[in-house]
Amino acid sequence: MNDLRDALIRAKRGDELSFAILYRAVQPGLLRYLRALVADDAEDVAADTWLQIARDIGGFHGGGDALRCWIATVGRHRAMDHLRRMRRRPVSVAVADGETPSAEDAADRALTSVGTDAALAMITALPRDQAEAVLLRVVMGLDAPAAGRVLGKRAGAVRTAAYRGLRRLADHLTHSDTPVTWTLPLDTGGTPARSTTLKDIG
């Protein structure tokens, strides 16, 4: 995205504040994507990814979109290396029934919410090519050609996989007891002071 362009230019010159801006912009999506590949090891793989980005960003050429594509590519390679070392296959996380809160009555039910982790778990439970396509598009913010570059596929194949993924998600939502609303989760690990601020915002 173009919003990263200025920070990228300055980070390449060695400005660490700008590098921190890039980290904050891209890391959440990277972590959520990697979690679909390596589950609880996603933090470690993401850290390895950023070490490489920090080392090589001076020689990087491209804008904000290309940066996201590059970071996703590095992250995916790191995840695959990690899986090879661990000699296991990418994770497939089943959606736990318990993640859907049970509503006490119809009125409460309309306000029941499920957050980011449950949403990601549902996407991760898709067949892997669909999960990766959806996550790279929705969470990493890549377009279809860029996601294709990350995955080594054509853009059309990524579109098809993501489309099938969305249909499967819609099917799951329709036939499951999933609540109507989803909440954009505010950080539940925040301090009391922060909670107050959020209430003020809300």
The footprint of another protein on residues 31-90 (CB under 8 A) is 31-32, 43, 46-47, 50-51, 54-55, 57-58
Contact between 58 and 136 (Cβ < 8 Å): no
Count, residues near another protein per rule CB under 8 A: 81
Which residues does 37 contact at the CB level (< 8 Å), separation at least 6? 45, 76, 79, 80, 83, 90, 91, 132
114 contacts: CB under 8 Å, gap ≥ 6 = 99, 100, 101, 178, 179, 182, 183
The secondary structure of residue 100, as a DSSP letter, is S
Query: In the complex, what is the shortest distance from the CB of residue 72 to another protein, in angstroms, rounded to a whole number?
Result: 14
In eight-state DSSP terms, residue 125 is T
Which CB atom, from 102 or from 197, has the smaller least distance to another protein? 197
Q: How far is the CB of 105 from another protein (least distance, A)?
A: 13
25 is a site residue for another protein (CB under 8 A): yes
187 near another protein, judged by CB under 8 A: yes
Q: Which of 111, 127, 154, 177 binds another protein (CB under 8 A)?
A: 111
Q: Is residue 113 near another protein by the rule CB under 8 A? A: yes
Instruction: Give the residue, chosen from 61, 152, 193, 200, that forms a contact with another protein under the rule CB under 8 A.
Output: 193
Report yes or no: 36 and 80 within 8 Å, Cβ to Cβ: no
Ranges within 164-183 binding another protein (CB under 8 A) = 166-167, 169-171, 173-174, 178-183
CB 30 within 8 A of CB 140: yes
Regarding 162 and contact with another protein (CB under 8 A), the answer is yes
Tell me which stretch binds another protein (CB under 8 A): 70-78, 81-89, 93-101, 187-195.
187-195
Q: Which is nearer to another protein, 39 or 47 (CB)?
A: 47
For another protein, what does the binding mask look like between residues 116 and 155, x meaning CB under 8 A? x-xxx-xx----------xx-xxx-x-xx-----------
Q: How far apart are CA 31 and CA 139, in angstroms?
A: 9
Based on CB atoms, which residue is closest to another protein, 28 or 90? 28
| Tokens 């990350």 -> residue | 150
Tell me whether residue 140 is exposed, middle or buried, using C-beta atoms within 10 angstroms of its C-beta: 0 to 12, 13 to 18, 19 or more: buried
